[in-house]
Amino acid sequence: MGWKDWVARLHRRIHDFEDRAAAPRFGAIGAGSNVLMPSMLLHPEHLFIGATSTIHPYCRIEVITENPHLEGPPLPDRDARIVIGDRVVVNSFSHFGAMSRITLGDDVGIASGVCIEDHHYEYEGASEDRPLKKQPFRVADVVIEDGAMIGEHVTILPGVRIGRNSWIGANAVVTTDIPPYSIAAGVPARVLRTLDPGTGKWERA
């Protein structure tokens, strides 16, 4: 091996080391899973991903452990985390924000531009002297059960549980729980059809 080959190999090793050093350190990531860059990851050490799942580029995945507004009240310690199961696909431009817990089961599909947050500002105490950013947060876990499909630009609000194998139509705003084997859409989302276990047919709700 000539000296040029030796230098080229050394450069590759240096770049590989730099890439590994700059790579996010996840809480856990299963075999065959990929988080494709560029994406914004805040506290990836609190992000737990199962096997053969994919997060596509330009996603914003945030585990929030401190109040983003310096004048706001401090956040209690909640062991915040985002848990993503096996064989999950999260498409580009989606945003997850967790102050407590967001859980996606196995085989969940997340279309582009989906927003899932387990928190929002309280507003009852807002005044001229106390804007919203100084209010405390309402925080409640979000759960998306196995096999659920979330359409493009859906927003899922704190405290929502979406049942197994349910489908949420594009642009819906989900404010309450959706039962398993349901099709829901609208603002706010409401159940349009459910699967009748006796007949195996989808019936109007």
What residues are annotated to the active site? 120
Q: From CA 91, how far away is CA 170, in angstroms rounded?
A: 14
Of 113, 115, 53, residue with least CA distance to 84: 53
User: How many alpha carbons fall within 13 Å on the CB side of residue 19?
Assistant: 7
Do the beta carbons of residue 74 and residue 58 sit within 8 Å? no
Residue 115 burial by CB count (10 A; 0-12/13-18/19+): exposed, middle or buried? middle
Q: What is the DSSP string of 121-148?
A: E--TT--SSS-GGGSPEEE--EEE-TT-
